[in-house]
């Protein structure tokens, strides 16, 4: 899997989740199979989640 495909999966999960009211997420491609995700997710109850993930999707 290429990192762009993984990023798209994450984007879709965030977009289709009904309890997330807003998000501010950046996707940084580091190599063909590596990337870094960082951002914040805002939920309907007013809480927020700060995320950081280094990803290597090489099979």
Give residue 44's pLDDT. Answer: 97
Give residue 23's pLDDT. Answer: 97
User: With 80 as the cut, is the pLDDT of residue 59 above it?
Assistant: no
Token digits of residue 25: 């997420």
Using one digit for the tens of pLDDT, what is the confidence trace for 8-27? 999 999 999 999 999 999 99
CA distance 48 to 41: 5
CA distance 19 to 3: 26
Give residue 46's pLDDT. Answer: 97
Using one digit for the tens of pLDDT, what is the confidence trace for 37-57? 999 999 999 999 999 999 999
CA distance 51 to 19: 16
Q: Where are the domains of the chain?
A: 3-56
């Amino acid at each position: 899997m290429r990192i762009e495909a993984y990023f798209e999966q994450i984007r879709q999960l965030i977009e289709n989740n009904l309890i997330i009211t807003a998000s501010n997420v950046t996707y940084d491609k580091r190599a063909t199979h590596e990337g870094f995700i960082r951002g914040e997710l805002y939920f309907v109850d007013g809480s927020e989640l700060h995320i950081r993930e280094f990803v290597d999707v090489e099979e």
